Amino acid sequence: MTERPDSTVQNFDELAEVLEKYGKVPGSLITILQKTQDIYGYLSLDAINYIALKTGIKPAKIYGVATFYTQFRLKPIGKNLIMLCQGTACHVNGSKIIEEAITEHLSIQDGETTEDGLFTLNNVACLGCCSLAPVMMVKNSDGDETYGNLTKDTVRKALDEIRERG
């Protein structure tokens, strides 16, 4: 792993506090990565290197853990994170059609972010609102909102409303 500076994240003060608390507790790597992602929105290479430096865990191992679990992102995300449920109930009730509508409407595929940085689309395994299938959850700095019983029309409308709010 290179020591390439990352222009978006340079200040690790908040992360230092996390490492102060968990750095020496055995078995805390996942917790540390979760807190790091909470702070910066994703795990940058710099953050991984910083954690490695402070904990003595090898960067390769941290990278291995970070890529093993679906929760961790190595790239920044847009302002609104669309979590489109692909659970069994949603699949049976047409989540693929909803995905098509979103990818068409925003011109992004699963895992991508729109050019204006407003939306990131993530397919997720199950949101646990099976009786509202198909479902998506949109997460942003205001919290999260769930949209259920989606159709192609309602999903487009919901996205347009979010876009208008900016």
Partner 1 sequence: MRVVVGQGSCGIATGAKKTAAEFEKLIAERNLEGIEVSLTGCVGTCYLEPIVDVYDDHGQMTRYTKVLPDKVSEIIENHLINGKVFGDLAITDQDTSFIDKQMRIVLRNCGTINPEIIDEYIATGGYEATKKVVTSMTQEEVIEEIKESGLRGRGGAGFPTWFKWDAARKSPETPKYMVCNADEGDPGAFMDRSVLEGDPHSLIEGMIIGGYAMGASEGVIYVRAEYPLAIHRLEKAMDQARERGFLGKNLFGTNFSFDLRIKAGAGAFVCGEETALIASLEGERGMPRLKPPFPAQKGYWQKPTNINNVETFANVAWIILNGGKAFGAMGTKLSKGTKVFALAGKIKKGGLIEVPMGLPLRDVIYGIGDGIKNDKAFKAVQMGGPSGGCIPAELIDTPVDYENINKTGAIVGSGGMIVMDEDTCMVDMARYFLDFTRKESCGKCTYCRVGTKRMLEILERITIGEGKDGDIELLQELAYKIKDGSMCGLGQTAPNPVLTTIKYFRNEYEDHIYNKKCTARACKELLTYTINDHCTGCTLCARKCPVNAITGELKGQHVIDQALCIKCGKCEEVCRFGAVDRV
Q: Which residues of the shown chain bind partner 1 in the complex (CB under 8 A)?
A: 26-31, 33-34, 64-65, 68-72, 86-89, 91-93, 124-133, 135, 137, 146, 148, 152
**CA 58/CA 55 separation, integer angstroms:** 9
Start-to-end Cα distance in the chain: 37
Comparison of 27 and 166: residue with beta carbon closer to partner 1: 27
**Nearest to partner 1 of 5, 27 (CB atom):** 27
Q: Which is nearer to partner 1, 14 or 68 (CB)?
A: 68
Residue 27 structure tokens: 């078995």
Whose CA is closest to 79, among 46, 113, 118?
Answer: 118
Q: How far is the CB of 146 from partner 1 (least distance, A)?
A: 4
Give the nearer residue to partner 1 in terms of CB position, either 53 or 116. Answer: 53
Question: CB 100 → partner 1: shortest distance, Å?
Answer: 8
